[in-house]
Structure 1
């Protein structure tokens, strides 16, 4: 590296850690293990690193800031996850900055392009390929939520709802329901939740039907109307998430179906808002606050130069009044 000033990123690259980890090691901050700290200090000494006046201002920040990138603040699922992350960050005296991408790929990429200069680490729900995320975050600690087959250096939190969905179909079948449909996420490919539903239906030799639904109450209403028009003998519905389920339940009642006597409804997420409708919504429940808390914990491990194992949050059936 002779001939140019050694930077904090040079030290990070040579030591095989993030530049945030170098900052913590040089300034004797927490969230870094002893061996990683020593490796960073040895590397800095070998390279002849001397922080510039400007760099000293950057690395001596009093608090860690986390960027939380979510698709839609209007969806209470993401609000609950954010609440869990904020609570866990508060216990560490960290700050969280929330970015809403409006479920738009272009806005997501724009957010990624600026987030690296504003925070120390990123947590998010991303649709961009891993290579694109890596390009924009430049070695920064990143935790991806709800995405399968995460590669490379990223932390990862996955939701496993297979047992919960199987339990939901088993419950409906045990109650005499035989015409069980699903409102899936309106996307290019069937979701993993649909795949769990289809497998559970096959195991019970039941014939299913699926209809795409936008992730909103209105989307649930439109999809339910289309589903009942195509399958008027339907007697139960499983939905991709709770906001779709609430819309589906409203629409079923508007069309003269009693819930749950004529039509059982089960959502997915187990949101608190499900207790605010009548009847209360049954759901395959995720511990949303745990998702946020685990994400913050993984950021802590990444900042300390560690590679966290993939975290799996398992969902389970929660029966209320709608099924």
Structure 2
């Protein structure tokens, strides 16, 4: 992605040029001063709206001119995955002398939209997780750089950090098959097929394993959700001998539920998660996982947004990928 495709932030000079007035007149109009007539004020406001101009935080005297604030948006800080990503982003931002404001959207589309309605006027750049359409993102962040995590942008307006876990999932399934498992289920994080489910099904097919449709169950992306999904799966298909979970948190719930079923892990049921959280080393047995370097993920997002803020050449898409790999511990 070349720098020429990244939109330049709209300035007060652009608004003044478009409206045919001075910079001082734009400032007066935006601050609702009485020194200008109504028609001029309306012309300025129309130009600002058409250009997507957002008054600079610097112009409003909220920060020193040498300070840049990054807005970090995560869906759930209670999920250790996002906490680890945030930690990596905060460390990378501090090393660059940048400030970070963290927004938790509570995995709620309405809260995400509410965040978008205010974030553009509070920060100079945005990094994070979003589910809203790009039109919504653009309206909420007009004129400032945005780096999406785990989402491929559809337009050059945004930059994105990709997570490629397919090879890691392939390693996980191949490991289970090498241990003699042929009835391998999945605990997915959504009722509809996720990308991770697609990776799992492709890996199983490559290993010559047919996954019965009933071997894939969905649950909330929580400890309780993972336990409930495993209970549903085993009630219908008690012959399943291994499971791959959408994330580590669900996998930990599966470990707890397996114990309730009187199953030994991994002797009776092998369990592999996804994310590679440090939390996985604190459970018994320690969790095997398709691991992402979460701190590197946050740091890479900050590096890209730093390049966009300073006008340096952005990293190309090929360098904006974090790949996952199988980390074997005791549960598989």
TM tier, shorter chain?
0.7 to 0.9
- 2:327 aligns with 318
Deviation at 1:49, TM superposition (A): 5.5
- 1:97 aligns with 101
Conserved in 1, the CA contact under 8 Å of 2:84 and 2:294?
yes
Name the SS of the counterpart of 1:251 in structure 2: helix
Deviation at 1:148, TM superposition (A): 2.9
Aligned: 1:131 with 2:135? yes
Q: What is the number of residues matched between the two proteins?
A: 286
Conserved in 2, the CA contact under 8 Å of 1:236 and 1:263?
yes
Conserved in 1, the CA contact under 8 Å of 2:125 and 2:144?
yes
Name the SS of the counterpart of 2:157 in structure 1: coil
Deviation at 1:308, TM superposition (A): 3.6
Q: Report matched runs for 1:57-206 at 5 Å.
A: 57=61, 60-187=64-191, 189-206=192-209
Name the SS of the counterpart of 2:59 in structure 1: helix
The correspondence for 1:252, drawn from 258, 262, 287, is: 258
Name the SS of the counterpart of 1:18 in structure 2: coil
- 2:273 aligns with 267
CA-to-aligned-CA distance 1:145-178 (integer Å, 9 cap, x gap): 0113442311100100010000000000000111
Deviation at 1:73, TM superposition (A): 0.7
Conserved in 2, the CA contact under 8 Å of 1:73 and 1:79?
yes
Name the SS of the counterpart of 1:57 in structure 2: coil
- 1:242 aligns with 248
Moved over 4 A (4+): 47-54
CA-to-aligned-CA distance 1:167-197 (integer Å, 9 cap, x gap): 000000000111100011124x311111010
Conserved in 2, the CA contact under 8 Å of 1:83 and 1:289?
yes
- 1:230 aligns with 236
CA-to-aligned-CA distance 1:232-275 (integer Å, 9 cap, x gap): 00100001000000001110111011000010000000000000
Q: Distance in 2 between matches of 1:113 and 1:258?
A: 50
Conserved in 2, the CA contact under 8 Å of 1:18 and 1:303?
no
- 2:293 aligns with 287
The correspondence for 2:316, drawn from 298, 309, 320, is: 309
Name the SS of the counterpart of 1:266 in structure 2: strand
- 1:34 aligns with none
**Residues 257 and 116 (structure 1), Cα distance of their counterparts in 2 relative to 1, 3 Å cut:** same
Deviation at 1:307, TM superposition (A): 4.1
Q: Distance in 1 between matches of 2:9 and 2:292?
A: 32
- 2:52 aligns with none
Conserved in 1, the CA contact under 8 Å of 2:188 and 2:245?
yes
Q: Distance in 2 between matches of 1:61 and 1:253?
A: 57
Name the SS of the counterpart of 1:259 in structure 2: coil
Conserved in 2, the CA contact under 8 Å of 1:177 and 1:235?
yes
Name the SS of the counterpart of 2:290 in structure 1: strand
